[in-house]
Copies of this chain bind each other. A is one copy, B any other.
Amino acid sequence: MLDSAVVATKKMFFREAIAKAVREEMALNDRIMVMGQDVGSFGGSYREFDGLFGEFGAERVRDMPVAENASIGIGAGAAAAGYRPLVTITYMDFLMLGFDPLINYAAKLRYKTAGGLTAPLVVKTTAGAQGQGVAHSQCIEAWLMSVPGLTVVAPSTPADAYGLMKTALRADGPVVYIDHKRLFPAPGEVPVLESLVPFGLAAVRRAGTDVTITAHSFMVRMALEAAETLESEGISCEVIDLRSLAPLDMPAIAQSVARTGALVTLEEGQLTSGVGAEVAARLFETTGHRRWARVGALPAPVSSNPVLEAACVPDARRVAEAVHKLLAR
């Protein structure tokens, strides 16, 4: 696992880690191209493609009009025909506009052609709440997890942003790569030399003995914050960063819960038919039942209103509360 290897690292921002991965892969493979709104000279909404336009030119780094459906469709078609497009969709809410080509075409292509065609497409999008309101804040990764043929990853650190993007750009089929508005300003250590994070491998971010907390993306930070607080109260939390949602690393979760005997699943999106429900269901299918609590958004849209937004999405306090309640059972 990345975290345990000894590698030279450099501190960089999430966005820089993404750019580094894309830059390296584009240099290695001239069939990779970046397509999306304002990815060209602007460098992406969060500067996550900074410099690529200058380095690789307008052929391989393409600004697109506001046309999410065709953007993903064109990406899927180019992928099926031998290229490796990275299509960006600014916010995950707008990904819905491209669900048809992504889900009805790209995710089914290998199956319906009996392996004859594949669509090595990466769709990068940004999830989560940060004052952007009801139609720019949603986390719908649980829907994507359920689509056969789709890979779904959601890094929480610059190192994983880097390593998972590199793996995505070498993958065989469509990958949805989800970052988060609140992660872009976060710095972290990123391997200097080329290094990949494989799909389907979770990472233990903090070792603990009393309860296992699973999370992905920005919520990993909330879990770690909660773990910090709880430690001072004598509760030891193990925090698992799922990183890859499809496939899920069930062995890692099972090993942890086997030790702690209690599971809190944490996600920023809706609990209903969410990531946590699936993690728990799969775990209990193999291990039998364990104590479990889930934490996620309240069942309401996420307003841009600072009070209502904060009330809706989970924070460290709610995670800590859930842990308390669960361990008191």
With A96-B103, A97-B100, A273-B273 known as contacts, the answer to whether A301 contacts B143 (CB < 8 A) is no
| Residue in chain B with minimal CB distance to A105 | B135
Asked whether any CB of chain B lies closer than 8 Å to the CB of A221, the reply is: no
Residues of B within 8 A of A142 (CB): 143, 146, 273
A:146-181 near B, CB below 8 Å: 146-149
Measured in the bound complex, the distance between the Cα atoms of B291 and A289 in whole Å is 9
Q: Does A29 contact B (CB under 8 A)?
A: no
> Which B residue sits closest to A294, measured CB to CB?
B281
Distance, CA A146 to CA B299, complexed state (A): 8
Q: Does A272 contact B (CB under 8 A)?
A: yes
A303-B273 in contact given A104-B93, A135-B104 (Cβ < 8 Å): no
Question: Would B272 and A278 count as touching, CB distance under 8 A?
Answer: yes
Chain B residues with Cβ below 8 Å from A148 are 270, 299-301
Q: When chains A and B are docked, how far (Å) is the Cα of A281 from the Cα of B93?
A: 26
In the complex, what residues of B have CB within 8 A of residue A300's CB?
Answer: 111, 148
Is A108 interfacial (CB 8 A cutoff)? yes
> 10 tightest CB-CB pairs across the interface, nearest first?
A96-B99, A289-B289, A146-B272, A277-B277, A104-B135, A142-B273, A108-B134, A146-B270, A143-B143, A273-B278
Between-chain CB contacts (< 8 Å), 22 pairs: A96-B99, A96-B100, A96-B103, A96-B104, A97-B99, A99-B99, A104-B135, A107-B301, A108-B134, A111-B301, A111-B303, A112-B301, A142-B143, A146-B269, A146-B270, A148-B299, A273-B278, A277-B277, A277-B278, A277-B281, A281-B294, A289-B289
